[in-house]
């Protein structure tokens, strides 16, 4: 007759089975946690890439805005400088007219022919010197306009270049973050597979396959003695 499983052996087998099942379930949970961590990291990197693109767009727009505003200010500055040089030239011409008129008045007051002699020489010198000054003033106005336009154009181009490189850098950074997110999901999948393999291996090596976990033994084939009848002698 087969011996039934003892209570102690049954309890030990149940404990081993429960421990194996708990370890396997814990391994499955850890695998899902690893996979979820990969997706969570990918989502975080995607959000970061999107925010970087948005902020880069704002910085680029502001750079262009400031560059165009600076360009307009430089144009106004050039215009004011040109006007100042024109005012300077007009002032010189006004002074020339006054000086020559004064020379003519003195000549006529002295009783000499003011259009000849020393008076005419003085007027000629005045005209020559004043026109030299006017030429220099006009040249300064032209130089200020040319150099001012060059500086303003350079500043505007610099703002456009800055905006372009800002956007390009953000695009490259976003692409890098997206690749990092894909790597994170793949890594999470690999780690999840490793956790599942570890859990399955642990379950296979610790589960008591041959034990009678639930305490059920095979029925005995031996005849059962009937003691309900009284014995006869």
Instruction: State the pLDDT confidence band at 1, using cuts at 50, 70 and 90.
Output: very low
CA torsion sign for 190, 191, 192, 198 is positive
Helices (H), the chain: 7-109, 117-206
**Which of these, 192, 182, 176, lies nearest to 36 by C-alpha position?**
192
- pLDDT of res. 79: 85
Q: Tokens for 13?
A: 């087998």
- pLDDT of res. 222: 46
Segment 123-145 mean pLDDT: 81
**Which of these, 182, 114, 229, lies nearest to 190 by C-alpha position?**
182
Q: Which of 10-19, 30-39, 127-136, 195-204 has the lowest mean pLDDT?
A: 10-19
216: helix, coil or strand? coil
pLDDT at 5 over 60: no
- pLDDT of res. 216: 53
- Show contacts of 123-128: CB within 8 Å, 24+ apart: 126/96, 126/99, 126/100, 127/96, 127/100
Q: Tokens for 197?
A: 């393999």
Model-wide pTM > 0.85: no
Q: Number of C-alpha atoms within 13 angstroms, CB side, residue 194?
A: 7
- Higher per-residue pLDDT: 141 or 21: 141
pLDDT, tens digit (0-9, with 9 covering 90-100), for 60-89: 888 888 888 888 888 888 888 888 888 888
219: helix, coil or strand? coil
| Terminal Cα-to-Cα distance of the chain (whole angstroms) | 29
CA torsion sign for 179, 180, 185, 191 is positive
- Higher per-residue pLDDT: 136 or 114: 136
Q: Look-up: residue for tokens 């002074």?
A: 95
- Higher per-residue pLDDT: 210 or 150: 150
**For residues 112 and 108, what is the distance between their CA atoms, to the nearest angstrom?**
6
Instruction: State the pLDDT confidence band at 224, using cuts at 50, 70 and 90.
Output: very low
**Which of these, 75, 8, 68, 16, lies nearest to 202 by C-alpha position?**
16
Q: Which of 10-24, 30-44, 182-196 has the lowest mean pLDDT?
A: 10-24
Q: Look-up: residue for tokens 């040089």?
A: 85
- pLDDT of res. 228: 47
- Show contacts of 181-187: CB within 8 Å, 24+ apart: 181/41, 181/42, 181/43, 181/45, 181/46, 182/42, 184/38, 184/41, 184/42, 184/45, 185/38, 185/39, 185/41, 185/42, 186/38, 187/38
Contact at 8 Å (CB) between 152 and 71?
yes
**Which of these, 43, 28, 48, 39, lies nearest to 188 by C-alpha position?**
39
């Amino acid at each position: 007759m087969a011996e039934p499983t003892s209570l102690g052996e049954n309890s030990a087998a149940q404990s081993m089975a429960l421990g194996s099942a708990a370890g396997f379930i814990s391994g499955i949970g850890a695998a899902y946690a690893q996979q979820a961590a990969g997706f969570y990291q990918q989502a975080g990197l995607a959000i970061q890439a999107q925010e970087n693109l948005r902020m880069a767009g704002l910085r680029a727009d502001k750079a262009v805005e400031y560059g165009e505003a600076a360009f307009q200010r430089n144009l106004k500055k050039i215009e004011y400088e040109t006007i100042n040089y024109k005012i300077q030239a007009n002032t010189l011409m006004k002074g020339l007219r006054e000086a020559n008129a004064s020379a003519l008045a003195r000549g006529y007051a002295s009783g000499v022919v003011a259009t000849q002699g020393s008076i005419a020489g003085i007027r000629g010198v005045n005209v020559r010197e004043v026109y030299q000054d006017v030429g220099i003033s006009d040249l300064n106005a032209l130089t200020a306009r040319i150099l001012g336009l060059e500086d303003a154009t350079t500043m505007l181009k610099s703002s456009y270049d800055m905006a372009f490189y800002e956007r390009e850098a953000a695009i490259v950074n976003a692409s890098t973050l997206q690749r990092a997110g894909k790597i994170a999901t793949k890594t999470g999948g690999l780690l999840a597979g490793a956790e599942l393999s570890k859990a399955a291996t642990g379950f296979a090596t610790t589960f008591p396959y041959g034990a009678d976990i639930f305490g059920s033994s095979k029925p005995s084939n031996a005849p059962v003695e009937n003691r309900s009848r009284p014995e006869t002698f």
